[in-house]
Structure 1
Amino acid sequence: FGAALPTAEETTYDIAGSSRLPPLRVLGQIHKTFIVCEGPDGLYLVDQHTAHERVLLERFQKARASQGVPSQRLLAPLTLELTPQQMALVEQQQEALLRLGFEVEPFGGLMVLLRALPTLLKQHPDPAAALAEILDGAIADRSGLSWEERLVMYAACRGAVKAGDGLTHDEMRDLMRQLEETDLSRTCAHGRPTVVRLSHAQLEREFGRR
C-alpha cells in the first residue's frame, strides 16, 4: 500500500505523559521475549524482562521503606567463591545486604556462605550465581547511586524473568496486572522502555485505511 513505517517517536509510548499504563488485555507472546497486549488506544508490545524488573524494583523499594525486605533462609547454606572485588563489597556492605534480605557470611579467604536471600528472588534457579551477578553489576555500575541503591537495582534485574523464558497466559496476565500497579511502569531500573505502543491510527495507516 506504500504507507510509511511509523517512526520511533510515533511507536514508543510517550514517556512524558502519564507514568502509569492503561489496563491491557494479553493476546500472546512473541519469541518468548515480548508480550502482545491490546489497550484502549492501540497495540502494546511489552518486554517481559524490563517489565518484571520494574515490578521487582518497586517492591524492593517499598519493602525497604517500610518493614524491610523479607528474607528466606535456605535449607542448607550455599558455598560461593568470590572475586577480590566482590569480597571487598560484601565486607563493606554487609549491613546493606542484610537489609535487602541477603545473609552472607565470610567463610575464609574469598569463600562465603549464602544463608538467606530475599523472598522476591526465591524462584531464582541459582541463588549463588544471582548474588555474584548482583555484586558484579553493582561494582561495574557508574550511575552515581549509593551502593545499596545499586544492589537493589541489580537484584531486581537478576531476579526478573529473562528473554527466552516461556510464560503461560496466566503468568503473562499476572505480570501485566503487576506492571499496571507500578508507579513508573514505562521504564525498567536502567531506564530502558518496558512497552512500545502502536496506536489505532498507525495500524490503520499500515493497512491502507488512512
Structure 2
Amino acid sequence: LAELLEADIIGQVFDTYILLQNGDTLYIIDQHAAHERIRFEMLKRRMKSEESFSQAVLEPYIIKLKPTEFELVMGRLDDFRIIGFEIEAFGTNTIIIRSIPDFYDASFSSGDFIEILDRWSQAGPGQTGISDEALYTVACKGAIKANRTLAKEEIRGLLESLTATENPYTCVHGRPIILTLDKREFEKRFKRIV
C-alpha cells in the first residue's frame, strides 16, 4: 500500500470519501470505514498488551439501566475496564462512568454507551471476554463520520495509520474501504476509447 502514501491528495467528495491520485490510478477511500478499521485493530493490540487507555471525563455519565443491563455491566466491569471504561454502581440499576476510552471525544454520549451495551448483550449469557462484535461497536462509535471535512494533515495521518493495519481493505463489517479506478476506465466511460 505504499502507493497510497505516495499518492497526491486531491481532497474529499461529499465530505465522506477521500480522493487520491497516483499516476493513472484514482483511489477512493471511505473515511469512516478506514478509521473504524484503524480503531478496531488498535483496540485488539491494546487488549493483548493490557495497555491502559482511558481518559477521565469532566462530568461523569450517570446512566439508569434496566435490571438486566445493570447486571450485565456489573458482571463485566473488568472487561469494560480493559477497553477503557471506569464504571461503578451508583444506586439501584444506575451506573456512573468516570472514564472512557482515550480515542473518544466530547461527542461521546450516554446513548453511545447504551448502544455498546446493547451489542454486548447480544453475545448471549455465559460468554466471557470481549467479542469482536462488541469491539466493532466501540471502534465505530468514535470513528470519523461521513459528512465531516478533513484537513490534508488529517487525511495524511489516516492514510499512514490505515496502511499500518493488518487488513486495510475492508471495514470491520466487511464493506470495502478502498476503491480504485484507472485512467482507462474513465476514458471508456467518456467514450474516448472503446
Give me the TM-score of the superposition, normalised by structure 1: 0.79
The Cα RMSD (Å) is 2.3
Query: Identity across aligned pairs (percent)?
Result: 31
Using the TM superposition, name which of 83-92 and 158-167 deviates more.
Answer: 83-92
TM alignment of 1:152-191, pairs within 5 A: 152-191=135-174
Opposite residue 22 of structure 1, the aligned amino acid is E
TM alignment of 1:1-210, pairs within 5 A: 20=1, 22-23=3-4, 24-40=7-23, 42-121=25-104, 123-140=105-122, 148-149=130-131, 150-210=133-193
- Structure 1 residues 209, 169: closer, same or farther in 2, change over 3 A? same
Opposite residue 154 of structure 2, the aligned amino acid is E
- Alpha-carbon shift at residue 91 of structure 1 (Å): 2.0
The whole-number CA distance in structure 1 between the counterparts of 2:32 and 2:174 is: 13
- Alpha-carbon shift at residue 69 of structure 1 (Å): 4.1
- For the Cα contact (< 8 Å) 1:21–1:185, is it kept in 2? no
Q: Across the two proteins, how many residue pairs are aligned to each other?
A: 188
Provide the secondary structure at the position in 1 that maps to 2:167: coil
The whole-number CA distance in structure 2 between the counterparts of 1:41 and 1:124 is: 41
The whole-number CA distance in structure 2 between the counterparts of 1:116 and 1:100 is: 11
Segments of structure 1 that go 5 or more residues without pairing to the other structure are 1-19
- Alpha-carbon shift at residue 88 of structure 1 (Å): 3.2
The whole-number CA distance in structure 2 between the counterparts of 1:54 and 1:128 is: 23
Provide the secondary structure at the position in 2 that maps to 1:148: coil
- For the Cα contact (< 8 Å) 1:78–1:114, is it kept in 2? yes
**Match for residue 17 of structure 1?**
none
- For the Cα contact (< 8 Å) 2:50–2:82, is it kept in 1? no
- Structure 1 residues 65, 133: closer, same or farther in 2, change over 3 A? same
The whole-number CA distance in structure 1 between the counterparts of 2:140 and 2:42 is: 12
The whole-number CA distance in structure 1 between the counterparts of 2:28 and 2:111 is: 30
- Alpha-carbon shift at residue 169 of structure 1 (Å): 2.4
Opposite residue 62 of structure 1, the aligned amino acid is R
Segments of structure 2 that go 5 or more residues without pairing to the other structure are none
Give me the TM-score of the superposition, normalised by structure 2: 0.85
Using the TM superposition, name which of 153-162 and 126-135 deviates more.
Answer: 126-135
